[in-house]
Structure 1
Amino acid sequence: MDPEMLARVRTGRGFVAALDQSGGSTPKALRLYGLDETAYDDEATMFDLVHRMRTRIITSAVFGGDRILATILFEQTMDREIEGRGSAEYLWQEKQVVPFLKIDKGLEDEAHGARLMRPMPGLDEVLERAKGHGVFGTKMRSVVLTDDAAGVEAVVAQQLAVARQVLAAGLVPIIEPEVDIASPRKAATDEMVDATLLEHLDGLDEGQDVVLKLTLPDQDGLHTRLLEHPRVLRVAALSGGYTREEAVARLTRNPGVIASFSRALTEGLTAQMDDAEFDAALDASIAAIAEASST
C-alpha cells in the first residue's frame, strides 16, 4: 500500500470524482453529455465515447489533486490509456489523484427491501491486476430501499465480507450501501444503515481501515459516529440523484463528510462545448463541490 496515497486519503483536502459508470449506466451518462443512442452503433463504440468523455474530464487543466482527492474508475477505464499511460497511472503520476476501481458487477433483484451485489467471479485476479496498475483501492455498491432489518443486515454483511477480501489483497475498500433517496422511509433507513455499519465495523481488526460512501442523510450530522470510528479513513457522500445544487447544500450541512459525486459532478457538461466552455463549466462544478467538501 502506497503510504503517500494512504496519507492523502486519510487527511487530504478535496473530494472523490466518481467516473465509474458501467455498461448499464453508460447510455444515460452519454445522453446527459449530449450523445444519444444515434451517436454509436454498438457497445464497443459506446465505451470508446465514454472513455473520451472521461479523458476530457481527467486531462482538463482544472482537474487535479488540489481539489480532487481520488477518482473511481470503471474496470475498462483502468485497462485503457490516457495520453499514453494507463488511466490509473496517469491519475496519480500526472494529477496526484488517488485511483480506485469499481469492482461490483451490478445488483441482484430486490429482496427484503434491498438489492445485494451480484457474485464477483475472478475478483482476486481483478484485484491483482488493479495493484499492477497502481490502484489504491476499490468500490462496491449495494442499494437499500427501506428500513427492513433483514435487508439492511444482508447488505452490510456482504459489503464487509468483500471488504475483507479486498483488504487481504492489500487494497483499501470503499463500502457503498446506498440508501435510495426515493425511499418513503428514508430517514429511518439512513439511521438503520448507519447503526448496522457501526456494529460490523467493530468487527474489523486494527489496520483493516475502510472508506465509506453513503447517501446524504435527511438528518444532518447523522454520519458523525461513523466519521469518528477508528476503522474509517473517510466518509464520502454520493449525490444519489439529487441535483448538484441540492447535493452541495446537503453536503455543506454535514461537516467532515466529503463528496463522491458522479452525475452531479458532470452536470451541464456536453460533448458540443468547446474546450474553453467545457473547462469553465467543469471548474465551476469542481469548485462548488470542493467547497462543500471542506466544511
Structure 2
Amino acid sequence: MKRFYKIMGSVDFNMSQLEKVKNGKGFIAALDQSGGSTPKALKLYGVNEDQYNNEDEMFDLVHEMRTRIVTSPSFTGEHILGAILFEQTMDREVEGKYTADYLIEKDVVPFLKVDKGLADEENGVQLMKDMPELDALLDRANERNIFGTKMRSVVNSFNEEGIKAVVDQQFEVGKQILAKGLVPIIEPEVNINSADKKEIETLLNKEILAHLDDLSEGEEVMLKLTIPTEANLYEDLVNHPRVIRVVALSGGYSRDEANELLKKNNGILASFSRALTEGLSANQSDDEFNSDLKKSIESIYDASVNKN
C-alpha cells in the first residue's frame, strides 16, 4: 500500500499509522456530521436552530464544538486510534493547524467522510448519492494528510437485490479510494429498528466476504458495521486477510447500550458519533465538559478492548 505524506515526508510514518490502526488499542471517533445531520448534532449539544442564521454560521458552530472535543486533554492517541472528519473540518484549522495535522500531532489518525449523503430508498436500501467529484476530493485529502475515508449507505429492510447493490457500490467506491492510496472504511449500516435486522446481517456478512475474497493482495479495507444481533457474527470479517480493522457504529443505541453490545463482539472496536458526544453541552464549563468527555472516551475504550 503506497502512500506519501507531503508534510511528514516519510513512508515509515505512514506505515506507523497503518500499524496503529491495525493493531493498536482504542477506537475511532466519528466527528463527521454533515449538512443534513449537523442541526440535530448541535441541538443535542444545546445549540438550537434559532442561534444561527444560515449554513455558514451553523458550520462555524459545529466546528467550535469539534474543536472543543479534539483539543480536550483526554482526546489523544492513548485511547483514540483515529477520528473521522467532515470535508469542511478537514479544510479548517484547529489551533493554527489544519485539523488532520493537529490530530496527527496528538497521535490520532485522520479519516475523511467522502459520501454526499443518501439516495431515496429503493429495494429496502438507501445507496450513496453519486459522487462525480470524488477523485478531486481524494486528491485534496492526500494533500491534507488524510489516512483513510468513510462512506455510508443504509439497509432498512431485507431485500436481496437491495443488499447486494449496497455492497457492490461500497466496494466499487472503495476501489476508487484504494487507487488514490487511501484506506476506505466500508460502511453499510443496518437500521437497528428493522424487523429483519438479523436476517439482513446474515446476508450482508455473506456479500461482504465475497467482495473481500475478490480483492487483490495489497488491497486492504476497513469495515464499519452496525453491532450485530448475533454476537460474533462478523468473526470471519474480523479475521479476513484483506481487512485492517472492523469497527462498529452506535446506530441509535445509547452509549451504555452500545458499549454493552460491543463487548460481546470480539475483535470489533467502536466508531461512535452521537454516543461519543452524549451528554456534552455548549453550556458546560471547560472542566465539566472535559470531565464528561473523559468518562465517555474511557467507557468506549473499555468496551472496545475488554470483551465479555
TM-score in terms of structure 2 length: 0.95
> Unaligned 5+ residue runs, structure 2?
4-13
1:134 aligns with 2:145: yes
SS at match of 1:214: strand
Root mean square deviation, CA, Å = 0.6
1:292 aligns with 2:299: no
Among 183, 192, 210, the residue aligned to 1:181? 192
Match of 2:251 in 1: 240
SS at match of 2:59: helix
Listed one character per residue, the Cα deviations across residues 47-66 of structure 1 (whole Å, up to 9, x for unaligned) are: 00000000000000011000
Displacement, 1:121?
Answer: 1.5
Q: 1-side partners of 2:249 and 2:153: how far apart?
A: 12
Among 10, 23, 37, the residue aligned to 1:25? 37
Which amino acid letter does the alignment assign opposite residue 236 of structure 1?
Answer: V
Match of 1:191 in 2: 202
Match of 1:4 in 2: 16
SS at match of 2:265: coil
Q: 1-side partners of 2:81 and 2:51: how far apart?
A: 32
What pairs with 1:142-161 in structure 2 (closer than 5 Å)?
Answer: 142-161=153-172
Q: 2-side partners of 1:92 and 1:185: how far apart?
A: 40
Q: 2-side partners of 1:203 and 1:142: how far apart?
A: 21
Match of 2:65 in 1: 53
SS at match of 1:254: coil
TM-score in terms of structure 1 length: 0.99
Displacement, 1:4?
Answer: 1.1
Match of 1:108 in 2: 119
Q: 2-side partners of 1:290 and 1:172: how far apart?
A: 22
Listed one character per residue, the Cα deviations across residues 244-267 of structure 1 (whole Å, up to 9, x for unaligned) are: 010000000111100000000000
Match of 2:131 in 1: 120
1:74 aligns with 2:86: yes
1:250 aligns with 2:261: yes
Match of 1:172 in 2: 183
Residues matched between the structures, number: 294
SS at match of 1:61: coil
Match of 1:85 in 2: 97
Q: 2-side partners of 1:68 and 1:177: how far apart?
A: 23
SS at match of 2:153: strand
Listed one character per residue, the Cα deviations across residues 48-106 of structure 1 (whole Å, up to 9, x for unaligned) are: 0000000000000011000000000000000000000000111002x110000000000
Among 216, 233, 240, the residue aligned to 2:227? 216
Which amino acid letter does the alignment assign opposite residue 23 of structure 2?
Answer: T
Displacement, 1:126?
Answer: 0.6
Q: 1-side partners of 2:186 and 2:61: how far apart?
A: 29
What pairs with 1:261-272 in structure 2 (closer than 5 Å)?
Answer: 261-272=272-283
Displacement, 1:192?
Answer: 1.1
Q: 1-side partners of 2:97 and 2:283: how far apart?
A: 26
Once superposed, which parts of structure 1, at least 4 consecutive aligned residues long, lie more than 2 Å away?
none
Displacement, 1:39?
Answer: 1.0
Q: 2-side partners of 1:10 and 1:159: how far apart?
A: 21
Q: 2-side partners of 1:195 and 1:237: how far apart?
A: 18
